[in-house]
Chain A
Amino acid sequence: MKEITKDVVVIGGGSAGMAAAGEVVGKGHSVVLLEREEILGGILNQCIHNGFGLHRFKEELTGPEYAERYARIIEESQVEYYTGTTVSEIDSREDGKTVFAFSSEHGMLRINCRAVVLAMGCRERNRGNIGTPGTRPAGVYTAGLAQRLVNMEGLMPGSKCVIVGSGDIGLIMARRMSWAGAEVKGVVEIQPYPAGLTRNIVQCLNDFDIPLHLSHVVSKIYGKDRVEGVDITPLKNGMEVTEETFHVECDTLLLSVGLVPENEIARNTGIKINPETNGPLVDSNLMTSVEGIFACGNVLHVHDLVDYVSEESQRCGEFVSTYLKAGDREQQYSMVSGSNLKYVIPNRFSSGRDNHFYMRSLIVRNHAELVFSLDGNEVKRKKIRHIQPSEMISFTLKKEELADFNLDEQSRLEVSLIG
């Protein structure tokens, strides 16, 4: 057993954890970073395609390159990091916290600290979550697992595949499988619009003449031992048009049907969960309902760009530092999402400083407006050229913009999208 005492424990060594840990250590606090895989970088390590870092580094990097830039910062900093180490429990008391973790190298680690940052990322929804009828053969993979097998192990999960869901990982995998010589027979999306970025539709599907079946579902899986084929059925007004069902032969089914924050530890620690995001509810400092425990990155809400994960996590690191320096806690007010928005993060705001919000749209529109109103009075209005659910909206409400308003405990800031 190993006992450690530090100011902060960061759980997760992917893009979120590395950015948060780097920031906290830069502000002069002691940090321990725990990562369950053998190397830092998290899921970026298997995302060998390019397109990362355009906002952050103003250049187009691959996932491993992006990860390596941050990993280097961590390796060269005072951050004490442990790989191959899995957290099992957080014991949260008023006078501090203890994080318990296990690794084969160190056995049980018992880490006493004042603040914890949750940065465990997300996991993929799977077949059970979408309830696809049919048999249960081998050959049904989540796109992320297939990506891991192909890109890191060099193994082909099959030679003829159908992809369910047009999320980015699924699209990226369509190209990857094609580039490895497998045949991608189609992508099936339940919504009338694609879930992934347009760039990926063009470069990952259109380039290979892979059909995209919008408003369709895989209605049945065939095959006893291994997948042998699927039925694909169109939807009209949300109902399956069974007579238009067609059959596609394949040996592999890849599922790219959404991501969910990995909130197990949060739940077990008694942290309140936001039903819209499945991540923790957080205040304007990205602190969860349990004092001293913060959250950032995909564990908080699923981002589409890693650049935003880094940005949010770095900000989280600043908040942790401020918290440790033990100033009085600033007054917080309620922040809610209004029409046409699935959610807004964080769920509180502060009046004395800039507030940064991330939002996810429920609608697809060109030329929409983002409207902030405080207790019914418009605070700010901003035009957006294009919105769609797959592209997160990032927006900073400046300190000055709230300066003229009187706030009391009941005050509520609402953000809406007007199409």
Chain B
Amino acid sequence: MTKEMICISCPIGCHIEVTRNQDEITVRGNKCSRGEIYGKEELLSPKRVVTATCPADSILMARIPVKTTRPIGKELINSLLEDLYKTRVQAPVQCGAVIMENYAGTGVDVVVTKSLSS
């Protein structure tokens, strides 16, 4: 199986080809070693930091921005988002406050990214 992707480890943006043959993964088209790491990770377990908003119980703001503390598996993103959209956040709250802990056993938390006074 071969997948084409663009390495985003640096601004050059090499177009790389990642091929998987049984246990062996080869990366081609990369100009440096970071491309190889990127390609393998993207193929095996692509992860993303998710940012979103939750409804806020505040007269100041309708929504409060949140983010995952680390990248999470792409396959979990949609269910995480649905859960976040249903999570009401009460003011006051400080930037960095955890509103969801260890999401789906990933060890990743969701934190508020803006302080909101009452």
Residue ranges of A at the interface with B (Cβ–Cβ < 8 Å): 45, 48-50, 60-62, 64-65, 68, 151-154, 179-180, 197-199, 201-203, 206-207, 366, 385-386, 388, 391
Say yes or no for B89: interface residue by CB 8 A criterion: no
Cβ contact of B63, chosen from A61, A65, A153, A202, cutoff 8 A: A153
Q: Is the CB of A64 within 8 A of B65?
A: yes
Supposing A60-B49, A179-B52 touch, asked if A199 and B8 sit within 8 A by C-beta, the answer is yes
B5 in contact (CB, < 8 A)? yes
Q: Which residues of chain A have C-beta atoms less than 8 A from B50's C-beta?
A: 179
**In this complex, what residue of A is CB-closest to B94?**
A68
Q: How far is the CB of B116 from chain A (nearest CB, A)?
A: 10
Which residues of B are found within 8 Å of A49, using beta-carbon distances?
51
Q: How far is the CB of A169 from chain B (nearest CB, A)?
A: 15
Name the B residues within 8 Å of A64 (CB-CB): 65, 95, 113-114
Residues of B with C-beta under 8 A to A61: 113
The 16 sampled A-B contact pairs (Cβ below 8 Å) are: A48-B51, A48-B65, A50-B51, A64-B65, A65-B95, A151-B65, A152-B61, A152-B63, A154-B53, A197-B11, A198-B11, A199-B8, A203-B8, A207-B48, A385-B10, A386-B13
- The answer to whether B6 touches A154, judged by C-beta atoms less than 8 angstroms apart, is no
Given contacts A49-B51, A151-B63, A154-B63, contact A179 B8 (CB under 8 A): no
Is the beta-carbon distance between A198 and B13 smaller than 8 angstroms? Answer: yes
Choice from B13, B55, B62, B95 contacting A152 with Cβ under 8 Å: B62
- Residue in A68, A198, A203 whose CB lies within 8 Å of B114: A68
* B6 & A206 in contact (Cβ 8 Å cutoff): yes
Chain B neighbourhood of A154, CB < 8 A: 53, 55, 62-63
Interface contact B5-A179, CB-CB below 8 Å: no
Q: Are A50 and B49 in contact (CB under 8 A)?
A: yes
Count of B residues near A, CB < 8 Å? 26
* Most chain B CB atoms below 10 A, which of A64, A203, A386: A64
Task: Find out whether the CB atom of A201 lies under 8 angstroms from the CB atom of B6.
Answer: yes
In the assembled complex, the Cα of A203 lies from the Cα of B46 at a distance in Å of 11
A48, B77: Cβ atoms under 8 Å? Answer: no
B12 within 8 Å of A (CB atoms): yes
B113 touches A386 (CB 8 A): no
| Given the contacts A50-B67, A68-B114, A386-B12, A62 and B5 also touching, CB distance less than 8 Å | no
Q: Give the contacting residue for A62; candidates B10, B13, B65, B81; CB below 8 A.
A: B65
List the B side residues contacting A45 at CB < 8 Å: 114
List, in ascending order, chain A residues with CB within 8 A of B81's CB. Answer: 179-180
- What are the 7 tightest A-B residue pairs by CB atom distance, in nearest-first order? A198-B13, A48-B65, A64-B114, A386-B12, A199-B8, A154-B63, A62-B113
Whether B74 sits at the interface, judged by CB under 8 Å, is: yes
Contacts of A60 in B (CB 8 A): 49
When the two chains form their complex, are residues A65 and B12 in contact, meaning their CB atoms are under 8 A apart?
no
Contact B48–A206 (Cβ < 8 Å): no
B26: Cβ under 8 A from any A Cβ: no
Rounded to whole angstroms, the CA-CA distance of A140 and B71 in the bound complex is 33
Q: Give, as a whole number of angstroms, the nearest-CB distance from B57 to chain A.
A: 13
A198 touches B8 (CB 8 A): yes
- Considering the complex, give the chain B residue whose CB is closest to the CB of A150: B53
B90 at interface (Cβ–Cβ under 8 A)?
no
Task: Give chain B interface residues in 42-80, CB to chain A under 8 Å.
Answer: 48-53, 55, 61-63, 65, 67, 74, 77
Q: How far is the CB of B76 from chain A (nearest CB, A)?
A: 13
Q: Which residues of B contact A206 (CB under 8 A)?
A: 5-6
**Considering the chains assembled together, what is the distance between the CA atoms of A197 and B55 in angstroms?**
30
When the two chains form their complex, are residues B51 and A198 in contact, meaning their CB atoms are under 8 A apart?
Answer: no
Chain A residues whose CB sits within 8 angstroms of the CB of B2 once the complex forms: none
Asked whether A385 and B12 contact (CB < 8 A) given A48-B52, A50-B67, A154-B55, the answer is yes
> Is residue B106 contacting chain A, with contact meaning CB distance below 8 A?
no
Using Cβ atoms and an 8 Å threshold, which residues of chain A touch B8? 198-199, 202-203
A68-B95, A202-B8 given as contacts; is B53 within 8 A of A151 (CB)?
yes
Q: Which residues of A contact B11 (CB under 8 A)?
A: 197-198, 385-386, 388, 391
A198 to B15, CA, bound (A): 11
Chain A residues, Cβ within 8 Å of B113: 48, 61-62, 64-65
Is B115 located at the chain interface by the 8 A CB criterion? yes
B49 CB contacts on chain A under 8 angstroms = 50, 60
Task: Name the B residues within 8 Å of A179 (CB-CB).
Answer: 50, 52, 77, 81
What 1/0 flags go to B1-44 for Cβ under 8 Å of A?
00001101011110000000000000000000000000000000
Instruction: Please name the residue on chain A nearest to B85 by beta carbon.
Output: A180
Chain B contacts of A203 at CB under 8 A?
A: 8, 48
